[in-house]
Structure 1
Amino acid sequence: MTLPPRLIPLLEQFDFACERLLARLAGPVMDSGNGVDIGVTPLGDDEHLWEPVPDCWSVRPRGDGPGARATVLAGAGDWGRDSADSPHPFPPPFTTIAWRLSHLAEMLTLRADHTCGSRALTRDGYRTPGDAARAVSAFGTASAAWREALLTADDAALDTVGYSTYPNGSDAEDPFVDIVWWVNQEVLHHGAEIALLRDLYRARPS
């Protein structure tokens, strides 16, 4: 299928954001931004779960229960991600790299499924990785799944409200092209946050 022309720049932006984030997380090198490769230390478990301030939201062993101001560990499996029923706490809790990566991977996985899959996956059924290597891998798998979902969209689909039936966003109210744009913003801004947290971890007092 020929890609709709207005989807092409959005797909290119998504690819750029994902490739850059994965390089920042897994290395061994990444583009510094001016065409020069710089070395990257792969994300480790301590950094993945590092809490730079008190009372962060993170991912935790289910047996430990939720963190401060969280009411539930979302997801399935031995680990869960701090969450709370709406309305969420204000001001929002500071979140770890682990929380942000899990949020992105879950969102991309579920949106892909609700666009061209079973349309049955739920947040409660998503298995949250607890270690860095599996978290990075989960993001890579999820971003690839969402990209495949985008390739199913023709021009009419981009204008269709509810083309994605993802239940945890505005998909039921917005044209699909707006959802595609929104997902890009999620990856871009959380990717930038994760990059900054990596810098702060490297520069933390010993």
Structure 2
Amino acid sequence: MGTERVRTDRLGLLLDQFDCAREQARVRLTGLGDAEYLWEPVPGCWSIRRRGEATTPRAFGPGEWVLDQGAPDIPASEYAEVARQAAGGMTVAKIAEDWSVSVERVEEVLRHTGPALPDDSPVTTIAWRLAHLHFCFAGQWEWTFGERRTDPKLLVDFTPEAGPALERFWSLLDRWRDSVAALTDEQLDTVGLSQYPYGSDPDDPYAAVLWGTNLEFIHHMAEIGVLRDLWAASGAIHG
């Protein structure tokens, strides 16, 4: 990126980061086909499935295809976030509500000391990761810039076809980007500008919410990139 394009204001930095990640994602996802999109590299993957074939306890979606979701828990990778929430003044009860777990589970996490435990989260398919991002961006747009009425779990009609999924996803990101670009400094500092019901958005300044949204986009796209590399390298198996 040339220096003439660099912005140093808060919104500019966040937008430039998002734009660069989106450009890289578009290149990385070029040529994605249905078989690769749904590829399950190991047994027990989470993916999108027909409603009657879902095996996870909280799979959701408004249509025929649903997104796998397991029982609520706090993964080890989020222990530090829970500690930050507690240090920032959130009560154990509010943290438990935030993560949809029991107070006892939060207390167990807060008592943990020593090295972080390894996560035992399931491997997820490209379809799952894209659908997860789509669900998050759609929900956060609705509960920040929209009517703040529709449950995020009812906003995305998941599809087993890579082409339509990507077309809808890029369109959503364009809408998201346009809305974010119009924010004022006062809105960036507003606590509760987003009322997204899953997570801590209502308790955070919106600049912090945007930072977290960028991070979610970047890290899931990096995971998708690795899955595409593995698919290409294992062509002899599935080809």
TM-score by length of 1: 0.84
Q: Does 1:190 align with 2:220?
A: yes
Tell me which protein shows more strand as a share of its residues. Answer: 1
Q: Tell me the residue number matched to 1:59.
A: 48
Deviations 1:5-40 (A, max 9, x none): 2100110110111121122113xxxxxxxxxxxxxx
- Contact map agreement 2:61 2:154 (CA 8 A) in 1: yes
Once residues 194 and 139 of structure 1 are traced to their aligned partners in structure 2, the CA distance between those partners, rounded to angstroms, is 14
Give unpaired runs (5+ residues) of structure 1. 27-41
- Contact map agreement 2:51 2:64 (CA 8 A) in 1: yes
Query: 3-state SS of the aligned residue for 1:73?
Result: coil
| Percent identity for Structure 1 against Structure 2 | 41
Once residues 195 and 137 of structure 1 are traced to their aligned partners in structure 2, the CA distance between those partners, rounded to angstroms, is 18
Once residues 98 and 88 of structure 1 are traced to their aligned partners in structure 2, the CA distance between those partners, rounded to angstroms, is 23
- Counterpart amino acid of 1:50? W
Superposition deviation, residue 122 in structure 1: 1.7
Deviations 1:24-66 (A, max 9, x none): 113xxxxxxxxxxxxxxx1111100101111000001112123
- Counterpart amino acid of 1:25? L
Q: Which has the larger radius of gyration?
A: 2
Superposition deviation, residue 76 in structure 1: 1.0
Superposition deviation, residue 151 in structure 1: 2.1
Query: 3-state SS of the aligned residue for 2:68?
Result: strand
Superposition deviation, residue 4 in structure 1: 9.4
RMSD: 1.8
Matched length: 186
Superposition deviation, residue 138 in structure 1: 2.3
Q: Tell me the residue number matched to 1:14.
A: 18
- Counterpart amino acid of 1:13? Q
Once residues 196 and 150 of structure 1 are traced to their aligned partners in structure 2, the CA distance between those partners, rounded to angstroms, is 29
Q: 1:152 to 1:120 in 2, by over 3 A?
A: farther
Residue number among 92, 117, 120 corresponding to 1:91 in the alignment:
120
- Contact map agreement 2:135 2:153 (CA 8 A) in 1: no
Query: 3-state SS of the aligned residue for 2:200?
Result: coil
Q: Does 1:149 align with 2:179?
A: yes
Q: Does 1:115 align with 2:144?
A: yes
Once residues 147 and 110 of structure 1 are traced to their aligned partners in structure 2, the CA distance between those partners, rounded to angstroms, is 14
Q: Does 1:104 align with 2:93?
A: no
Query: 3-state SS of the aligned residue for 2:45?
Result: coil
Q: Does 1:132 align with 2:118?
A: no
Q: Tell me the residue number matched to 2:79.
A: none
- Contact map agreement 1:106 1:142 (CA 8 A) in 2: no
Query: 3-state SS of the aligned residue for 2:12?
Result: helix
- Counterpart amino acid of 2:57? T
Superposition deviation, residue 148 in structure 1: 2.0
Tell me which protein shows more helix as a share of its residues. Answer: 2
Superposition deviation, residue 123 in structure 1: 2.9
- Contact map agreement 1:159 1:177 (CA 8 A) in 2: yes
TM-score by length of 2: 0.73
